[in-house]
Amino acid sequence: MNAAALEHDFSHNALTTLSEEEELFRSSVREFAEGEVRPRVEQMEHNAHLDADLIKQCFELGLMAIETPEEYGGAGSSFFNAILAIEELARVDASTSVFVDVQNTLVTNAIIRWATDAQKLKYLPQMAERKVGAYALSEAGSGSDAFALKTKAVDKGDFWEISGQKLWITNGNEAEIFIVFATVDAAAGYKGITAFIVEKDFENFAVGKKEDKLGIRASSTTELILDGCKVPKENVLGEVGRGYKVSIETLNEGRIGIGAQMIGIAQGALEAALNYTNEREQFGKKISDFQAVQFQLAEMAIDVEAARLLVYNAARLKDAGKSFLKEAAMAKVFSSRVAERVSSKAIELFGGYGYVKDYPVEKFWRDSKIGAIYEGTTNMQLQTIAKLITSGK
């Protein structure tokens, strides 16, 4: 069964049925993923960085500005289409997927929603055409407790002076535009948090160490060092002291993007397992003919479809302007578990071959693990879900 046929078989229900426009968009992203991303995956994984030409192609195809209005050089498309792109890319390579994901669901999304007209006019065209964005919230002592920030911003009259260190910044090496969160008043707690648009060439700003990671190895994860970084007054994103709203509301949408990345990983692992079990022979017949193997494949398919339904539902709610906080949290928790479970089972179905890097499934498993950690750990999502359901929301 080829990949196109396999995907079609998993799309016969109301929620995952796509419009003609959405189907065409997904097909174009899949063609790009198969034709341009897949041939580069092994080398990018080995080198632990994204191919420069591939980054350029992501811009040329409009994948870096899916929701950006056309007046700013973007595609003017939907959040749901961004989710489709993230899923299709992750089916082939999670590193490329999260590169596109952060640009769309976090950075561009925050600017579209919170920036002034002047900021939009300045930054959105750049990010649609050539410049990569990154989202800088996390610090050494500020992970799940996202607002325990130590990075400080001091009003110097003509500019803000920001000092501190950020960790775990996706796209850190490639980015030229950063959304940086800092506190302007530590005594005010979360109400002192402010978001700033920081450019890579601003004075006293530097990208530090790149992390050597288990998975998504081609995606750069770095520290940022701000040592009295001078940021123009007009680069406050949103209002002073309202950065917590920028952060919370952007990350709520970003979690749906991570869900899409996870279902892409799971889909890729399932397809690899199906193809392998249809080719591998033991005891005189294909191992996919054994009922025990068939049942395992069936369980994997159920998991992937259930996760896809949760992710698509959250994305549809967001586009419809309806509440999606609980649904986004559910989608992220479940899809990250599914990605890890399905990719692990795929390794077992490959046998010894699944454990070596000559075959793709061990990479799917390594890439899946981050889903339970970034953009809100599983425990934090469970806390959100529990709070909402116990309050009747």
Mean pLDDT of 65-93: 98
Query: Cα dist. 62→49, 70, 93, 277, 337 in Å?
Result: 21, 11, 18, 37, 31
Q: Which among 275, 279, 264 is positioned nearest to 363, based on CA atoms? A: 264
Give dist(CA 347, CA 368) in Å, integer.
13
Mean pLDDT of 322-332: 98
Fold of the domain built from segment(s) 3-132: Butyryl-Coa Dehydrogenase, subunit A; domain 1 (1.10.540)
Q: Domain 245-390 belongs to what architecture? A: Up-down Bundle (1.20)
Catalytic residue list: 375
In percent, the amount of the chain with pLDDT more than 70 equals: 96
pLDDT in tens, 17-49: 899 999 999 999 999 999 999 999 999 999 999
Name the CATH superfamily for 133-242: Butyryl-CoA Dehydrogenase, subunit A, domain 2 (2.40.110.10)
Backbone angles phi, psi at 165, to 5 degrees: -135, 130
- 3-132 and 245-390 have identical folds: no
Q: Which among 289, 258, 281 is positioned nearest to 106, based on CA atoms? A: 258
- More confident: 379 or 17: 379
The predicted model scores a pTM of: 0.95
Residue 201 has pLDDT above 60, yes or no: yes
Q: Which among 73, 69, 87, 67 is positioned nearest to 18, based on CA atoms? A: 87
Residue 214 has pLDDT above 50, yes or no: yes
Domain boundaries along the sequence of the chain? 3-132, 133-242, 245-390
Average pLDDT over the chain reads: 95
Residue 6 has pLDDT above 60, yes or no: no
Residue identified by tokens 């080829």 is 2
Task: Give the model's pLDDT for residue 2.
Answer: 45
Mean pLDDT of 234-256: 96
